[in-house]
Amino acid sequence: MLLKTILNRVQRHRLFVYGAIRLLEGLGGQVISIEVEIRPRANSRPTCSGCDRLGPGYDTLPPRRFEFVPLWGIPVFFLYAMRRVDCLSCGVRVECVPWAEGKNHLTTTYTWFLARWAKRMSWKEVAEAFRTTWENVFRSVEMAVLWGRERMDLEGIKAIGIDEVQWQRGHKYLTLAYQIDAHHKRLLWIGRERKVKTLMSFFRWLGRERTAAIQFVCSDMWRPYLKVIAKKAGQAIHVLDRFHVMSHFNKAIDKVRASEARALKAKGHKPILKRSRWLLLKRPENLTQEQEVGLALILRHNLRSVRSYLLREDFQGFWDYVSPSWAGKFLDRWCTRALRSRIDPIKKVARMLRKHRALLLNWFRAKGQISAGAVEGLNLKVKLTTRKAFGFRTYRAIEIALYHTLGALPEPITTHRFC
Ligand SMILES: [Zn+2]
């Protein structure tokens, strides 16, 4: 079977035909690339790149190479001499061709090919696997993201989650807005920093009508977020996300443990708290058998770390309530106990919970209607993507990578899928 036959099956163009196909060899006889000539179909007229209308030909430019999907590890190029159109409304313009956009030297098919692989592997790996540059992979992903963002469907968003993630050393944050409806979870929007104006620009992007249709908002206790949500989506039930609430506990326990371990060491005690960090931070059901034994040993001591740990484990009961009023009573009792604990980081958490009592109890009003683990799950994926992205130094790259992996963006429908 001729290569041309296959090409005509997987990618046929109405106004163009495939011509001669050549194998380019190096000095030692090794195969370097495959070149496929393309010609306009007989008597066909070029399409103006300015207005998309057919027009009379003006002249023909020297041939250009467009990279196509490699075959058996051999790079494939289309070879085509672009014509210029003498357009009635635009003047003399270069024609547009169906296999590539503008000045891009990669064919659109190859661009989507690279972008699809970039969902499965890091950009660096894609570049290595297909012997192309990191830059080419990045541009391809960027094209896929721009294409998808222009066509994303924003109808029917009822629940959103606002999250923040650190992306560089030195307290640099991103604000992320997710859709967390049961049937549709995805990253909607990314903003630089986590200020009032950051989240304001999200709501501006979403638009007034769609914002008014939101029924549930999930967020952290970060004050700028609370402020903007109250102002912009006051009609929605605002829930404090369980995952974020519990992460405050973990930060507190970590602080208590670290300072206590230091104090014990200074007094020359046995290093009971050595290697205890994860024993205390992980939920007991997630511990390995060995860790369980380790935890049991620590729990025998009357340490501040242990008391903090037990207070957190007690608090987990809060989330199991059904009625907001009973949950409220539980919360008040817990806060009273925590405030008497004489452990400052835990007292701080208790004061924070007390201050946001109403928002915490909203959890029970929204129960069953939003997917509780959604924010946590998406947050985890965001962290994985940013970690995988050692190559990303710029905000633009991280933004593109996150939209690409988590945006659930639409893709064009093609007759043949190359990967
Ligand atoms: Zn034109």
Pairing of strands 74-87, 31-40: parallel
Residue type, 112: W
313 with 246: CB under 8 angstroms? Answer: no
CA of 102 to the centre of ligand 1 (A): 14
Q: Calculate mean pLDDT across residues 286-298.
A: 82
- Dist. CA 50 → ligand 1 center (Å): 4
pLDDT of residue 392: 65
Q: In angstroms, what is the span from residue 325 Cα to ligand 1's centroid? A: 69
Rounded to the nearest angstrom, the distance between the alpha carbon of 51 and the centre of ligand 1 is 4
Angle in degrees, 0-180, between the axes of helices 324-339 and 357-366, rounded to the nearest 10: 140
**Length of the chain in residues, anyone?**
419
308's CB contacts (< 8 A; 6+ apart) are 252, 253, 256, 257, 280, 341, 343, 345, 346
Determine contact, residues 236/217, Cβ cutoff 8 Å.
yes
Q: What is the mean pLDDT of the chain?
A: 91
Q: How confident is the model at residue 419 (pLDDT cuts 50, 70, 90)?
A: confident
Alpha helices of 175-276 — where are they, by DSSP H? 196-206, 208-212, 223-232, 242-266
> Helices in 121-241 by DSSP H: which ranges?
123-129, 134-150, 196-206, 208-212, 223-232
Asked if residue 57 lies in contact with residue 83, where contact means CB atoms within 8 angstroms, the answer is: yes
Distance CA 53, CA 31 (A): 40
Q: Is 60 exceeded by the pLDDT of residue 267?
A: yes
For the ranges 85-94, 164-173, 220-229, the lowest mean pLDDT is seen at 164-173
Tokens of 314: 């007690």
Query: Rounded to two decimals, what is the model's pTM?
Result: 0.85
Residue pLDDT, tens place only, 39-70 = 999 989 999 999 999 999 999 999 999 999 99
CA of 88 to the centre of ligand 1 (A): 7
**How large is the average pLDDT for residues 319-333?**
93
CA of residue 58 to ligand 1 center, whole Å: 13
- Cα angle 187, 191, 193 (rounded to 5 degrees) comes to 130
191 Cα–ligand 1 center, Å: 38
Place of tokens 């009609």: 235
pLDDT-based confidence at 395, cuts 50/70/90? confident
Task: Tell me how far the alpha carbon of residue 409 lies from the centroid of ligand 1, in angstroms.
Answer: 31
Q: What is the mean pLDDT of residues 184-213?
A: 95
User: What residues contact residue 125 under an 8 Å CB cut-off, 6+ apart?
Assistant: none
Q: Using pLDDT thresholds of 50, 70 and 90, give the confidence band for residue 150.
A: very high
Ligand 1: distance of its center to the CA of 54 in Å?
8
- For 108, 148, 187, 409, the CA distances from 412, given in Å and listed in that order, are 11, 9, 20, 10
Closest alpha carbon to 77 in 36, 118, 108, 113: 36
Does the pLDDT value for residue 298 go beyond 90?
no
- State the distance from the centre of ligand 1 to the C-alpha of 109, rounded, in angstroms: 25
Tell me the residues surrounding ligand 1 (ion) with CB < 5 Å: 48, 50-51, 87, 90
Closest CA to 219 of 375, 367, 362: 375
- What amino acid occupies position 135? E
